[in-house]
Amino acid sequence: MEQVIIVGAGPCGMSAAAELQKRGIDPLIIEKGCVVNSIYGYPTFMNFFSTPELLEIADIPFIISHEKPTRQEALAYYREVAERRKLRIRTYEKVEEIKRRTDGTFAVRTTKRNGVRAEYGTRFVVIATGYYDNPNYMNIPGEDLPKVSHYFKEAHPYHGMKVAVIGGKNSSVDAAMDLYRAGADVTWIYRGGEYSPSIKAWVRPVFESMVNKGWIKAMFNTEVKSIHEDHIVVVRNGEEIKLENEVVFAMTGYRPDRTFFNALGVKVHEETGEPEHNPETMETNVPGVFIAGVIAAGNDANVIFIENGRFHGGILAQEISRRMAG
């Protein structure tokens, strides 16, 4: 029987594990991908907005020689945290089900990479699953074609190709600029009527200049109606337009996975998508089930980042330690 199982080996899940360790509790982390799988999925050459000290966890300094860390530096840092703190992490093992037993403990059922199923018992569960694995789908014909991706890694493979980038925030803008610099023919499609205020202040002038010079074709007040092998159909201001196209990046955002909440009976606020929980303990309305990281934010993933989600671990660890001592 485990004392605590943490679902998700992102920075916030790892922070929770380290905080529990400080209090003499050695939790098991179960992760369906690799360590900090979401960060691994970020664009290859991405730089964080945050300075390294705001990404630190487990009392281990994140030291670099410049102001903002790269994706590669963050991956190396969190691997170092896992090794130095000797965190027990089962990677490539997917949690399929969490079920409350009659005695108040939990059964956690998983499937390993080789297809072998396993079951663990635990007194407490911490759900720290993030949201990056669950893109917001447009639900339009052709969205499931191989040419469509909701994730952007790097631009080089798309040199000389006609690429559509859908979305109006930072990820779409960064992807469009990278693709242009790699020699792609880029059309940026946004349903809004003007640039989003969420675009990074130091990026927007550069992007606007590229659009004004005609290097990137920008289509405002435009929605994609359907995607086809060699073209897409968009609607702009009521007019239907057919555009030649070879690749689509749908940078339409991501949403939390509430599968475990629904099965366990965790209440979710209908309007905000926020799971019911006590912010002073991070415990949900289901006794013994805690949350950490962006999963606590509900539909608005822009209110919790690594910078503040990392502190959830100390809050919930204090409560779990108190309960175990009692």
Widest Cα–Cα separation across the chain: 67
* pLDDT per residue of the chain (326 residues) written in tens, 0 to 9: 999 999 999 999 999 999 999 999 999 999 999 999 999 999 999 999 899 999 999 999 999 999 999 999 999 999 999 999 999 999 999 999 999 999 999 999 999 999 999 999 999 999 999 888 889 999 999 999 999 999 999 999 999 999 999 999 999 999 999 999 999 999 999 999 999 998 999 999 999 999 999 999 999 999 999 999 999 999 999 999 999 999 999 999 988 888 899 899 999 998 888 999 999 999 999 999 999 999 998 877 667 778 899 999 999 999 999 999 87
Helix (H, G, I), strand (E, B) or coil at 2: strand
What is the residue range of 227's domain? 148-250
Number of domains the chain contains: 2
Residue 46 lies in a domain: yes
Residue 121 is encoded by which pair of tokens?
């018992």
Instruction: Residue 223: give its domain's CATH number.
Output: 3.50.50.60
> What pLDDT does residue 186 have?
98
Give start and end residues of each alpha helix (H) in 85-193. 170-181
266 and 234 in a common domain: no
| pLDDT for 303 | 72
For residue 143, being part of any structural domain is answered with: no
Length in residues, the chain: 326
| Whether residues 244 and 305 fall in one domain | no
Last residue of a domain, one of 250, 283, 299: 250
* The pLDDT value given to residue 257: 83
Same domain assignment for residues 268 and 240? no
Same domain, 238 and 258: no
Residues 6+ apart with CB under 8 A from 121: 1, 2, 101, 105, 106, 107, 108
From start to end of 179-255, where are the E strands? 185-189, 217-219, 222-227, 231-236, 239-244, 247-250
Cα–Cα separations (whole angstroms), residue 96 to 93, 158, 183, 280: 9, 36, 42, 29
pLDDT in tens, 13-45: 999 999 999 999 999 999 999 999 999 999 999
Is 141 a domain residue?
A: no
DSSP state of 115: S
Tokens of 249: 């990046």
Predicted local distance difference test score (pLDDT) of residue 258: 83
pLDDT digit string, tens, across residues 108-151: 999 999 999 999 999 999 999 988 888 999 999 999 999 999 99
Has residue 139 been placed in a domain? no
Q: How far is Cα 3 from Cα 140, in angstroms, rounded to an integer?
A: 45
Give yes or no: residues 229 and 265 share one domain: no
Other CB atoms within a 10 A radius of the CB of residue 28 amount to: 18
Q: Which of 250, 268, 285 is the last residue of a domain?
A: 250
The Cα–Cα gap between 284 and 6 comes to 14
Measured between alpha carbons, how far is residue 99 from residues 19, 162, 264 in Å? Answer: 25, 48, 6
pLDDT at 20: 98
Is the separation of the CB atoms in 294 and 256 below 8 Å? yes
Dihedral-angle region of residue 134 (phi above 0 means left; psi in -120 to 50 means alpha; beta otherwise):
beta
